[in-house]
Structure formats: structure tokens, C-alpha cells
Amino acid sequence: MTQDIDIARIAALVGAPARAAMLLALGDGRALPAGDLAACAGVSAATASGHLGALREAGLLDIVRQGRHRYYRIASAQVAALLESLLLVAAQSPTRALRTRVDQRLQAGRTCYNHLAGRLGVALCDALIEREALRIDEEIAHFTRAGVALLAGFGLDTRALRHRPMSRTCIDWSERRHHLSGPTGVAIYRRCLELGWVRHHLDSRAVSVTKIGARGFQSTFGLAM
Amino acid sequence: MTQDIDIARIAALVGAPARAAMLLALGDGRALPAGDLAACAGVSAATASGHLGALREAGLLDIVRQGRHRYYRIASAQVAALLESLLLVAAQSPTRALRTRVDQRLQAGRTCYNHLAGRLGVALCDALIEREALRIDEEIAHFTRAGVALLAGFGLDTRALRHRPMSRTCIDWSERRHHLSGPTGVAIYRRCLELGWVRHHLDSRAVSVTKIGARGFQSTFGLAM
DNA sequence: CTCACGCTTCGGTTCGCGCCGAAGCATGCT
DNA sequence: AGCATGCTTCGGCGCGAACCGAAGCGTGAG
């Protein structure tokens, strides 16, 4: 049966953890550059490039050239549906039950490859937008003049972050909402660690907000914990 | 994130051709014994057993003990939906286009691991049921007294086939309909070859009906070609 | 023009896993 | 009881693929 190997080919493509991480990062339809996806998957650029090429060749991913970047995104709604199906089956898989407790902790606050995600990451992003420190156009985040000042007061020199776009948004899988990623997102997370606002648990990607942090998020970003 | 590896685990499970073939054979919800699934996947019993164990442990497959057989079946509707999703994505995958021509030939008549499938297999099964030679109860096929006589006239000694159940049904993937598998299905196919009713193409699993075969199927089983 | 950056290609290593044969276990037929 | 049958477990083999570092290529910035 020829179709056996067809579906096996597709499934095997999703079956490598690195590729699964990339697909999941793209799960909401955004387009991300290869470098970000490499970071998301925790592999080198070389490895990521190979994976992305394979996914594109199989028709799972589309490529959008824009400037010097090459943005990848999910090719069709069917592929997105396939990912949803997998999530559903994975969620009810028996081995999954053991992890559920950890996941709940992760939902509160965690890092998504060196930037803040979970409820904390989403709330911070919302607060920045509400204070008009951040604007999101075309799924790319820009800090306003007020935002740059705000970050300066927070101790971040935005001039040191010369990448363009300076920051990106990333949809959180538990909250299904935006949060800050990219170099700026990473810098904010690092600064939070320096200030002792959040603490990092060694055994997982979960982070928790300290007492000092709660006050800091409140006074600096207007973020009620 | 932990869920990356969750969906990767599930996808990788489906990603091996042998396991994909087994899942596809079970795709319509029937329960099949391990031996049949091994044949479907074209692997040894030892290999099949390992695969089935893994699929069961992951919650993709259920096991139903009945007599000395152990029947496997798809564990949930979600798993079936996952397979459908994969079929959909595989169908629109670019590499798929190359195979479409071959598939059309296969749809007419072909073997499904040593028994007749495709339109021919389905039509034969229908004809047997219509002539009251075959009855299907609980997805297991039984030949009636008239059916045994019919097969005897065809040159098959059904007493030589002492397996119980004597025959099984198998859903054809292109027709989505029943056809005969199991020892009886295999014996019928062999007999068709002996009589020169069908010819087997070496390069694929496609079979075609000869002129003699067309007359034979007509006179013996009342099957109009 | 030149440099820097992002991405891809190439070569080589390592590790996992899919596979089988043989032996072991259980179940039901004789 | 004894044998046959169906399935599983074990040990070992070999292929394939995932990974990285380094080099190559194209694009935009200075």
C-alpha cells in the first residue's frame, strides 16, 4: 500500500522532537525566521536549516522571503489541523498524566527559550501595550519612545539591541496570547534575573516571581500580580 | 517545552512504515489479531509484537482478548481522527502527485497481502453476500452451507481451512468497503491464480482480470465485470 | 567596496531504532 | 497429557537519521 509510507513519511517528519518544536512554535500561523526556530528547537542553525528544508519539501511549511530574513510558516490549515490532532492524542496519552502537574506550574510563569512566557509573559506584554510602551504592527513588536524610556528606567539600554526587528511576538501555547520574544524579550528576562525579580527552577523551565519582583513589576510596568 | 516531545513521541510512533500500515489497517475500527497485522505490515511476528506493544502503551491501541487470539483495535476516535488528518496532509503533499497514476491502477484490482482487494475484491465480497454464500456477523465473515458448496464447485476444500474464524473482512482503503481476507481470502486468491482468472503484475500489487477470469467470475459467482 | 549577518551546504560522527531468529510462555485442540 | 499455534521476550545486527563545526553564498548596512 503506497499510502502507508505516505502517512509514515509525514508522521516521521513531525516525529523528531526538533521538528515538532518548530511546528508547534509556528502552530498559530505566524511566520518566524530560521534562527528563531533553531533556538525554539534547541539545535544549531545547520541542523535547523536541514529540518526546515525537509518540512518545506514535504509541503508542511511555506517560506516567505523578506529582506535578508527567510520567514517560515505553516503551509496550510490541514497541517495546523494535524498538529491539533496530535496535541489532542498526546494529551490523553497515559504517560502524559505524569506530567500534568508540572505543566500547571509551567503555565503560571516560565521561559520560552530565554524569554518570559506563560501567564507572566503574556501579562507583561499586555501591560506594555496598555501603557503605550509597545505597539504591534503586522505581528512585529515596536517599542514607542515612551517604551524606550520605560526600558531605560528598568535598566535596559535599548541601543545595545541593534537587531531589527528589535523584538518579536510569540504565541504562548497555554495562553494562546502574545508575549515578547526576540533579543528584547531575552534582554528583559535577563534583567529580571539580575534584579532578582524572578527565580529560575533548575529542573524545568518554570520561573516564579519573588516578592521584590512583584513590587518591581507593579511599580515599573503597572503589572498587578 | 514538554509538549513538544509529547507530540513528537506520538508522531514518531506513527512515523514508522510498519506501524503506519498497522494503524491504517485498523483505521475503520475493526479489531485484528497480531498475526494479521504483521502480514499487513510485511514484518515478522516478533517485530509486529514490539510495535503493537509500543502503540498500546502509548494509548493508541486497545487490546481485546478473545479465545487464544488477542485482537488489537484503535483506542479512541481521536486516534482515528489523527489518522484522517495524516491522510489528508499526505494526499496534498507534493511528492504524492507522482504516485497518483499508479494508485488509479491499484484501485481496480490488487492484492492486500495475499488476498484480493480493490474494486475486484469488494465486488467479489458483495456478490457472495448477495447470493447468500456469505454472512457477516460482528465483522466476522461466515460462509453459509450454500457458500461452502459454492467454494467446493470453485475447487476449494473448505475443510482444509480449519482456522476459526474461517475468514475475516478487511476494509479497503480506496473503496472504504469490505472484502475477504484471512485464510479463506488467501485461498480464494491462490485459486484464482491457479485457474488463470487473474494475473499478477510483478512490479506492484496490482492484479488484472483475464478473459477467462471474467467469464469465470460471472458464471461461478454471478459477478459482472 | 567591504564587512557583518543570516542562512544553507558539506563532511563526518554518533546513537537510536527497526528488524530478525531463536527461545520462552500461554492457550486451546486432540 | 501432549502437541500445535499464536504471541511475546531476548540478543544482536545494520541502516538511517539527527547532530555539529566549518566553509560557502547572498543580502543589507556602513
For residues B1 and A209, which has the higher predicted lDDT (pLDDT)? Answer: A209
Pick A11's closest partner by Cβ from B2, B15, B91: B15
CA–CA distances in Å: residue A24 to residues A46, A87, A108, B33, B88 = 20, 10, 19, 36, 19
Rounded, the Å distance between the CA of B23 and C1' of C14 is 31
How many Å from the CA of A148 to C1' of C15? 48
Q: Give yes or no for B5 touching A (CB within 8 A).
A: yes
Q: What is the mean pLDDT of residues A41-48?
A: 90
Three cell numbers, residue A101 = 502537574
Tell whether B98 lies on the interface with A, counting CB pairs under 8 A: no
- Residues of chain A neighbouring B74 (CB-CB closer than 8 A): none
Please report the pLDDT score of residue B26 as a whole number.
Answer: 87
Torsion angle, CA of A173/A175/A181/A186, rounded to 10 degrees? -100
Q: How many CB pairs under 8 A join A and B?
A: 168
Name the percent of chain A lying above pLDDT 90: 17
pLDDT at A175: 46
The pLDDT tens digits of the residues spanning B120-170 come to 777 788 788 888 887 766 555 667 778 778 888 887 766 655 433 344 445
> How long is the CA B81 to C1' C8 vector, in angstroms?
36
Chain B CB within 8 Å of residue A45 CB: no
CA B189 to chain centre: 13
Give the whole-angstrom CA distance, residue A155 versus residue A213: 14
Tell me the C-alpha to C-alpha distance, in Å, between residue B102 and each of A103, A108, B99, B109, B117: 47, 53, 5, 12, 15
**For residue B170, how many C-alpha atoms fall within 13 Å in the half-sphere facing its CB?**
33
Task: Find the closest chain B residue to A79 by CA distance.
Answer: B89
* Nucleotide nearest A12 (Cα, C1'): D17
pLDDT digits over B21-52, tens only?
A: 999 888 766 788 898 899 888 889 999 999 99
Kindly list the residues from chain A whose CB atom is less than 8 angstroms away from the CB atom of residue B102. Answer: 2
Contact positions of strand D to protein Cβ (< 7 A) = 5-11, 17-23, 26-29
What per-residue confidence (pLDDT) applies to B123? Answer: 78
- Beta bridge partner(s), residue A70: A65
Residues 6+ apart with CB under 8 A from A98: none
Give the pLDDT confidence score for residue B182 in this predicted structure: 59
The overall average pLDDT reported for chain B is: 74
- Residue B113's φ and ψ, nearest 5 degrees, are 55, 65
The residue that minimises its CA distance to C1' of C20 is: B44
| Torsion angle, alpha carbons of B128, B129, B133, B139, to 10 | 110
Q: What is the CA radius of gyration of chain B?
A: 19
What residue type is B77 in one-letter code? Answer: A
The protein side of the strand C contact, defined by CB less than 7 Å from any of its atoms, consists of A 33-35, 45-46, 48-50, 52-53, 63, 68-70, 163; B 12, 15-18, 41-47, 50-51, 54, 67-68, 162, 164
Interface ipTM > 0.85: no
Q: How far apart are CA A182 and CA A170, in angstroms?
A: 9
Residue in chain A nearest B8 by alpha carbon? A15
B46: burial class by Cβ within 10 Å (0-12, 13-18, 19+)?
exposed
B53: CB within 7 A of chain D nucleic strand: yes
Residue at minimum CA to C1' distance from nucleotide D26: A68
What are the residue ranges of CATH 1.10.10.10 in chain A? 2-92
Nearest to A77 by CA among B105, B70, B89, B173: B89
* Pairing between β-strand A69-74 and β-strand A32-33 as defined by DSSP bridges: antiparallel
Given this model, what pLDDT does residue B143 score?
Answer: 75
Residue A112's pLDDT is: 52
Q: Per the structure block, which three cell numbers stand in for A130?
A: 496598555
Q: How many CB atoms lie within 10 A of CB A54?
A: 15
Instruction: Spell out which residues of chain A touch residue B87, defining contact as CB-CB under 8 Å.
Output: 3, 7
Strands B167-171 and A32-33: unpaired
Hey, CA dihedral for B68, B72, B75, B76, is it positive or negative? Answer: negative
Minimal Cα distance from B100: which residue of A?
A2
CA distances in angstroms from A67 to A37, A71, A171, listed in the order given: 18, 10, 23
By CA distance, what is A84's nearest residue in B? Answer: B82
Average pLDDT of chain A is: 75
The mean per-residue pLDDT over the stretch A199-214 comes to 66
Mutation target among B2, B5, B9, B10 for the A interface, most CBs of A within 10 A: B10
CATH of B2-92, one of 1.10.10.10, 1.10.760.10, 3.20.20.10, 1.20.1600.10: 1.10.10.10
Contact with chain B for residue A35, Cβ under 8 A: no
Does position A58 have pLDDT exceeding 90, yes or no?
yes
Highest-pLDDT range among A200-214, B69-83, B137-151: B69-83
Amino acid (1-letter code) at residue B131 = R
A83 touching chain B per CB within 8 A: yes
Nucleotide nearest to B72 (CA to C1'): D7
The residue ranking higher by pLDDT, A207 or A139, is A207
Minimal Cα distance from A85: which residue of B? B82
